Structure 1
Amino acid sequence: MGDVLILEDFTHPPEYFCLGLAHAVFPVIYSLSFAACLPFMENQRSLHVTCPDGGKLEFLAEVLDHDGNVAVIPKDPTYGGPRPKKLLVEVVQDKGGCTYGYKVGDQFAFEGLKCKEGFCGAAYHLLFPALFGLNFGAKFFFMQNPDSIDTVTCPDKGKIVFKVTREEE
């Protein structure tokens, strides 16, 4: 209890970092890195993450400011429960051969983090960090539209590239 692991960024975990934890914590640190806020947390810039191997451990992911202090945004006093965002996923590149038959222009509407019935599991797995982040207010400052990201790539030889957009509320 009390061990501290500091990641300089979400792409370079420490040596011997548990891959199970990396899998569970990645959507969280990815989202927090792009200014997502979790209104149900006492500190909106943090989230508890449980070890996927039987819940043996719990971790608190927090954002550090430039001085190395924990960045704090107090819990939203108006928070009254989930407010899922409308998220649009669109196929923007197709190299052919998608098992699910996805092609450029295909669009899929998501509400918050709800899975779509019949949607490719591998694609959802790769989309989840972007869906999670955009659902909680992440801004991708390097994109033309910071409420979207258009580089989410299929793990099956990169056959499909998706764009995920948080729609206006």
Structure 2
Amino acid sequence: MKRFKITVDKVVGYCSCNYKKGDVFYVQGMNTPKKEFCGGAFLIIYPIQVSLHTGGCFSFEKNPLCKTQLACPDNGNVIFSIELMAE
């Protein structure tokens, strides 16, 4: 099963979930993270997860199997990345 790594890359200002830079969450397949995860942030991340899961890539990224600069809908205070990990 494909595995993903979601990383908190940057936090500026207030985060209602108290995320910190460097926090990491792992996801398998088309599931949600096993730990509690912000629903608003997941709405931004999930379409990218679907794309990577079904063979998509981001050729403009340093790593085409990683999408960076995914801003939380809460004023963009938290920036995430999601990466398809090697199987």
CA distance in 1, matches of 2:11, 2:29: 25
Does residue 97 of structure 1 match 2:8? no
TM-score by length of 1: 0.49
Per-residue Cα deviation, 1:108-127 (whole angstroms, up to 9, x for no partner) = 00001111252111011110
CA distance in 2, matches of 1:95, 1:139: 28
Q: Any idea what SS the aligned residue of 1:143 has? A: coil
CA distance in 2, matches of 1:163, 1:88: 8
Given residue 53 of structure 2, which amino acid in structure 1 is its aligned partner? Answer: N
Runs of 4+ in 1 over 2 A off after TM superposition: none
Structure label with greater radius of gyration? 1
CA distance in 2, matches of 1:151, 1:110: 19
Give the match for residue 127 of structure 1. Answer: 45
Alignment identity in percent? 31
Q: How far 1:152 moved relative to its partner? A: 1.0
Counterpart among 105, 114, 129 of residue 31 in structure 2: 114
Structure 2 unmatched ranges of 5 or more:
none
Q: Any idea what SS the aligned residue of 1:89 has? A: strand
Give the match for residue 141 of structure 1. Answer: 59
